[in-house]
Amino acid sequence: MSNNSAAPLRVAKFGGTSVADFDAMNRSADIILANPAVRLVVLSASAGVTNVLVALSEGNEAERRAYYLDEIRRIQYSIIDRLAEQTVIREEIDRMIDNIAMLAEAAGLATSLALTDELVSHGELMSTLLFVEVLRQRGVAAAWFDVRKVMRTNDQFGRAEPDSHMLKAQTRTLLLPRLESELVITQGFIGSEAKGRTTTLGRGGSDYTAALLGEALEAGRIDIWTDVPGIYTTDPRVVPQAKRIDEISFEEAAEMATFGAKILHPATLLPAVRSAIPVFVGSSKDPGAGGTLVYNHTDNPPLFRALALRRRQTLLTLHSLNMLHARGFLAEVFNILARHAISVDLITTSEVSVALTMDTTGSTTTGASLLTQALLTELSSLCRVEVEEDLALVALIGNKLSQACGVGKEVFGVLDPFNIRLICYGASSHNLCLLVPGGDAEQVVRTLHGALFD
């Protein structure tokens, strides 16, 4: 089935809240059944399950393990209890939970990334089994498919990278033929490496799965169903007047995600971007509310598109009188940071100092834990180090910002009452970034949104 057929194939992905319980699953089923073009469905684990599985993978006392296993049972049984035919699916889920218990016991003896992936993958395996059952009991010919057969990855457990060549070949052989006659339900987030061991794709993994499979199948569109009806000019919880953006370019969406908008993880869209497949983002709680379509590029994009906010930023200021004439100072600083696996986010320099923020959003750590004593000691031998924490990054996302006139006045004119700690502007024509005290962040966003978007 290629794009040349009457209705191009569509891939739909549903996040954890969209398969959280029996009612949520049925709402998601309604969305799928309303559109015959949807032939492949990618699911996350039911909300709450992955967190419990991650906790189990850290190795616990027997009592704590029992508590976590009960929690998983509670979430999954609440779905089974609402099904008319329960026997077979209950046996399947019980088998999965026995498996989880065995792996959790092993984690109690010794933890490993491979074991964690094996354990965590059960969330998606269970949600897809349950969802197939929900569909079958509604008289739909749905088939369960183990994504690990096609999602071949390297063995970097916890953050495995798919082999797109292998993925495409396997998908076209094993998956494509089935889509002609069946609605196929499969797992997001998980894969397998050369030896057949289970891997996971890291944060935003289910969106990534949908985009990779959509690309391999040459889909006409990828629908990402979450608990928000699309992408907004800023977080509606911070600014209730935020407006939904009906169409946005991949580049703008990726900028927003990079700077903390949690809707889409930019890397997860890459396969769709490469292949110019539009991505739709909508809410499974309210499919009638519409959503946002993300395109490869859009016509006449606006100067100001959105505001993103990233909290808990750490600013390092390095002062050195030697910097004046030392050609290698910055190189040495970046060498040290690279050795400690730190990626620098924003940077500004003066004659005798350099200020930079550290990006902690891609990892599970905080800025504080990245700033190890070893790193500070190494930097201190080179220069005087100043650390400021609890700052927030406000990013104005737009188009051709660095070529426009008057941007500074429009932005800074309304920010009189606030202390702005650092400004980055000009390196990208898509963003202007400000670092402000954490406590002022929301007010800064509200002020800017009022001035630029209302």
Residue 415 CB neighbours (<10 A): 18
Give SS3 for 201: coil
| Mean pLDDT of the region 152-164 | 94
Q: What is the pLDDT of residues 409-432, one digit of tens each?
A: 999 999 999 999 999 988 888 999
Tell me whether residue 280 is in a domain: no
- Residue 423 neighbours by CB under 8 Å, 6+ apart: 348, 432, 433, 434, 435
Is 50 annotated for ligand binding?
yes
Asked whether residue 121 is domain-assigned, the answer is yes
Angstrom distance (rounded) from CA 153 to CA 197: 10
Whether 76 maps to a domain, the answer reads: yes
Lowest mean pLDDT among 156-160, 244-248, 366-370, 439-443: 366-370
pLDDT at 366: 53
93: domain CATH number is 3.40.1160.10
Q: What does the pLDDT average to over 57-72?
A: 94
- Give the mean model confidence (pLDDT) for residues 360-379: 71
pLDDT at 50 over 60: yes
Given a cut of 50, is residue 1 above it in pLDDT?
Answer: no
Percent of the chain's residues with pLDDT above 70: 93
Angle between helices 266-274 and 205-216 (to 10 degrees): 10
pLDDT at 204: 76
360 annotated binding-site participant: no
Q: For residue range 86-97, what is the model confidence (pLDDT) as tens digits? A: 999 999 999 999
For 234-248, what is the mean pLDDT?
Answer: 92
pLDDT for 448: 97
Is 227 among the annotated ligand-binding positions?
Answer: yes
Instruction: Report d(CA 73, CA 98) in Å as an integer.
Output: 11
Q: What is the mean pLDDT of residues 153-172?
A: 95
Q: How far apart are CA 363 and CA 33, in angstroms?
A: 37
The answer to whether position 188 is within a domain reads: yes
| Band of residue 362 on the pLDDT scale cut at 50, 70, 90 | very low
Name the β-bridge partners of 231: 245
Query: Left, alpha or beta for 341 (phi > 0: left; psi -120 to 50: alpha)?
Result: left
The SS3 assignment for 277 reads: coil
Give me the pLDDT at residue 41, please.
98
pLDDT category of residue 2 using cuts at 50, 70 and 90: very low
CB 319 within 8 A of CB 348: no
123 occurs within a structural domain: yes
The mean pLDDT value for 121-145 works out to: 97
Contact present, 280 and 226 (Cβ < 8 Å): no
237 in a labelled binding site? yes
Q: Any binding-site annotation on 291?
A: no
What is the average per-residue pLDDT within 314-324?
82
260 pLDDT higher than 80: no
Q: Is 198 annotated for ligand binding? A: no
Average pLDDT score over residue span 112-126:
97
pLDDT at 208 over 50: yes
3-class secondary-structure state, position 203:
coil
- Rounded to the nearest 10 degrees, how much is the dihedral formed by the CA atoms of 248, 161, 343, 391? 50
Taking alpha carbons only, the member of 445, 52, 2, 11 closest to residue 225 is: 11
The backbone torsions φ and ψ at residue 436, rounded to the nearest 5 degrees and listed phi first, read -130, 160
Domain-embedded: residue 92: yes
Query: How many independent structural domains does the chain possess?
Result: 1
Residue 161 lies in a domain: yes
Q: Was 447 annotated as part of a binding site?
A: no
Position with higher pLDDT, 250 vs 117:
117
Q: Which amino acid is at 53?
A: L
Would 107 be classed as within a structural domain? Answer: yes
The answer to whether 314 is annotated as binding is: no
C-alpha to C-alpha distance for 14 and 44, rounded to whole angstroms: 6
Per the structure, the complete domain to which residue 33 belongs is given by 10-226
Residues in the chain: 454
Q: So what's the pLDDT on residue 3?
A: 42
Give the pLDDT of residue 315. Answer: 93
pLDDT band at 219 (very low <50, low <70, confident <90, very high): very high
pLDDT for residue 335: 92
Q: HEC profile for 208-271?
A: HHHHHHHHHCCCCEEEEEECCCCEECCCCCCCCCCCEECEEEHHHHHHHHHCCCCCCCHHHHHH
